[in-house]
Amino acid sequence: MIQSNTAGNPAPSEYACHAASEHGACPSCASGERLGFRFSYAYQPIVDISKREIFAHEALVRGVNGEPAPSVLSQVTEDNRFRFDQACRVKAIKTAAKLQMQGMLSINFLPNAIYRPELCIRSTLEAARAHNFPVERIIFETVEGERISDAKWLTEVFREYQRIGFLTAIDDFGAGFAGLNLLADFQPDLIKLDMDLIRGIDQSRVRQAIVRGTVGICAELGIKVIAEGVETADECSALQDLGINLLQGYLFSKPLFETCSQTESMVWPR
């Protein structure tokens, strides 16, 4: 999960991207300039509990020795966040391909780090081609809690990603600044319910009512729902009763550093 709280006027890198856009290149995306720090990934599975299969893996940034995400994110600045966002995409795809990952790959992205999605997405497409990772198996997800300087712009970015063939997802749904207002303007392929809604849901009629209502809305709109932060078998059972079969959390697996889970090696709740 990556968060950016930048809003307001475009950063200098955005102006550079604007100046180059007529020439069909985005220097912030395409330049080989070094970030000045290294990072890697851990992968956490999203399971389909009804099929007892792995639906996808979410790529979670880590230090090169498995250090937690803040050790990396603390080095992201206004000047390098564009390059970092692009480097994250390429690294996530490259590592997933090396691991021979099956199923979908979910990558977080920074919507405020994109000026022209049709140009800034090129490095992602090139990485997918170079590593033989199908575009239709890539999900781009953004955190609902990220303060977006222009919500309409986020919908444009999402629509361009869908047009290219990527799947789209809103992470931490119910915890941030967009919520149902965003759904009114754009319907992603998936939403991920915030873990605070999931915690103790088996014992909370209020949480059950909120999630049941969200599931109903999403079903009518053709959106799949993922519950994240699932930690107990009772939470898992309650979510299944509410019609949610795509689940993510420590109950199934912690994020695995530079490794992806295998269906046959996972321990499934009874």
What would the pLDDT profile of 51-84 be if each residue is shown by its tens digit? 999 999 999 999 999 999 999 989 988 888 888 8
Residue 253's pLDDT is what? 94
- Identify which of 163, 180, 264 has the alpha carbon closest to the alpha carbon of residue 223: 180
Task: In whole angstroms, give the CA distance from residue 85 to residue 8.
Answer: 19
Tally of CA atoms within 13 A in the half-sphere of 226 that contains its CB: 27
Provide the pLDDT confidence category of residue 174 given band limits of 50, 70 and 90: confident
What is 27-251's CATH number, 3.40.50.720, 3.20.20.450, 1.10.3720.10, 2.60.120.10? 3.20.20.450
Residue 205's pLDDT is what? 97
Rounded to two decimals, the pTM is 0.85
Cβ atoms 105, 141 nearer than 8 A: no
Is 190's pLDDT higher than 90? yes
pLDDT tens digit string along 234-262?
999 999 999 999 999 999 999 999 999 99
Task: In whole angstroms, give the CA distance from residue 135 to residue 130.
Answer: 12
